[in-house]
Amino acid sequence: MGSLPGGYWDATGRLHREFELAALTGREEELLVQARQPQTATLVTEVLSRCVRRLGDISPVPSEVARQLLVADRHYLLLQLRRATFGDLVHANLICPWPDCGERVSLDFSLAEVPVEEARHRAPVHTMTLSAAAPSGSGTAAGGCQVSFRLPNGADQEELSEQLAHNEARALTLLLTRCVQRLGSYEPPEERQLAELSASARSEIEERMQQLAPKVEQTMEAACAECGRTIVAPFDIQRFFLGELRTDGELLYREVHYLAYHYHWSEHEIMEFTRDKRRKYIDVLADTIEVLNSGA
């Protein structure tokens, strides 16, 4: 049980924040192994709709709802899912970035300590007024004009990730086109009208979005064991989590085969296990086999 730092607004205007998770099983690992085009945001949607058992009074959680969760809420759920599946500690190997140190260090950090900032003001749509200091590009919207928008969500990530890799400015215009619901008298505005906004007007809207959105810290901080100074390293929870899960398929199926062979459980049953649980049984088997071989 937990509570989203932001929350999901359903079509009737109700906010859903409380959630229950189920740890990932072999089924989800298989899904990730089989993903032909590993598009991160799409996989996150799929994993969340399978593992979030309940969100407010929505249960099961359809992928359309997982897709519409705020970016930080999705990150938060991934953090909790990782904790539920593999525990709280993360072990990382990195090079100390301090130039006079540069030692290879391994460090542990706790996911419970990742800073999370709750949304300051919860609403399905926010409204702001562009300052007079933010003139428009070619007259679509002058300073003082009102802008209404929703915050970026998983669907935006899914739609824009490719564009983001090719053309960041275009991706931002598209993001604004998706999120801005009213721009002065344009309701909704067209892509062209948003593209014509001045750079300062665009960044005012972006900044306001960032202020209003909940946040999950995407860096980690730890002390270098060699020089004692603080290391701040990027920590991309989506990549980390999916990378950790993407065991090679061969290994997954070998583990399932091994357990089926020795315990006579069905494939279906074994795939419902978490990875930790599979490996615990494999360890028990290894110990038993060793005892048998040593004749004790």
> Which residues lie near Zn ion (CB under 5 A)?
96, 98, 101, 224, 226-227
Token pair for 264: 């006579």
Minimum Å gap between C-beta 223 and Zn ion is 9
Q: Which is nearer to Zn ion, 107 or 201 (CB)?
A: 107
Output the smallest distance, CB 239 to Zn ion, in A: 24
Question: What are the tokens at 255?
Answer: 């583990």
Nearer to Zn ion by Cβ, of 99 and 139: the residue is 99
Report how far apart, in Å, the C-alpha atoms of 66 and of each of 4, 119, 152, 195 are.
12, 18, 13, 29
Nearest distance from C-beta of residue 96 to Zn ion, angstroms: 3
Question: Are residues 6 and 70 in contact, defined by beta-carbon separation less than 8 angstroms?
Answer: yes
Amino acid making up residue 226 = E
Kindly write down the DSSP assignment for every residue of 40-71, as one continuous string.
Answer: HHHHHHHHHHHHEEEETTB-S--HHHHHTSBH
Q: Give which of 213, 209, 215 is closest to 128, Cα–Cα.
A: 209
Which CB atom, from 95 or from 291, has the smaller least distance to Zn ion?
95
* Residue 32 token pair: 């990730």
The smaller minimum CB distance to Zn ion, of residues 4 and 224, is found at: 224
Q: Residue 10 or residue 221: which is nearer to Zn ion going by CB?
A: 221
> How many other CB atoms sit within 10 Å of the CB of residue 278?
20
Q: How far is the CB of 91 from Zn ion (least distance, A)?
A: 17
Task: Work out how close the CB of 111 gets to Zn ion at its nearest, in angstroms, rounded to a whole number.
Answer: 23
